Copies of this chain bind each other. A is one copy, B any other.
Amino acid sequence: MSKRIGVLELAVLGLLHESPMHGYELRKRLNSVLGTFRAFSYGSLYPCLRDMLGRGWIAEDGAVDGAPALTGKRAKIVYRLTAEGKERFQQLLTEIGPSAWEDDDQFGVHFAFFARTEAEVRLRILEGRRRRLEERLDYVRASLTRTRERLDSYTLELQRHGLESVEREVRWLNELISSERAGAAPRAGDSSQVSPTEPFGDPSPAGSPS
């Protein structure tokens, strides 16, 4: 039960929600929106599109408003979201199950579309994810205490780094959760030169630091 939904399908629905696109472009946007999380190949994208077309969630769309006007011919196949597709997308986002936090990728994709997700659902996903990670921490820490004498220093170091990574993600979730409860958007400030132009909650226009 609780069929495992492919990451790809949800991502495609989410991207087409913004604007119609053809496959090639979709794949690029996909890999850029998901950032370090995940990368997809055409070999998985096109069959997925064919499937979704068959199920009526997307439809072909010849030369629409937003698309660049071509010389007349078109080799491109632009897809747009149908009404059923929009419904499906909302359903996938709202009817969350453990899949949204069990799996790293699933969580990543869900998070990527948080802007289109109800506040309540966002909170449940974040909290579910946090709980899941804390369970992992408990489990790993316990088995580490039991077996650490038998592990060489490299294995230990791997464990240590792994634990630290998960702890870090928990802290991140903590911040996000209190942000959410306060009704604010995530900070999304600075880092390198990443600055929010269209925030959601608070505008802080930064120049263009090359």
Contact = CB atoms under 8 A, between A and B. Distances in A.
A22 interface: no
A63 interface: no
A120 interface: no
A98 interface: no
A163 interface: yes
Contacts of A158: 35, 37, 108, 111-112
A115 B155 CA distance: 8
Contact of A206 (B35, B150, B191, B196): B150
B198 A153 contact: yes
A174 interface: no
A37 B200 CA distance: 34
Copies of this subunit: 2
Interface string A15-43: 00000000000000001110111000000
A182 interface: no
Nearest to A148: B194
Given A112-B154, A157-B186, A148 B197 contact: yes
B140 A35 contact: yes
Given A36-B162, A157-B186, A160-B188, A198 B149 contact: yes
19 contacts: A36-B162, A37-B162, A112-B158, A115-B154, A115-B155, A144-B194, A149-B197, A149-B198, A152-B200, A153-B198, A153-B199, A153-B201, A156-B188, A156-B194, A159-B194, A163-B191, A163-B192, A165-B168, A168-B168
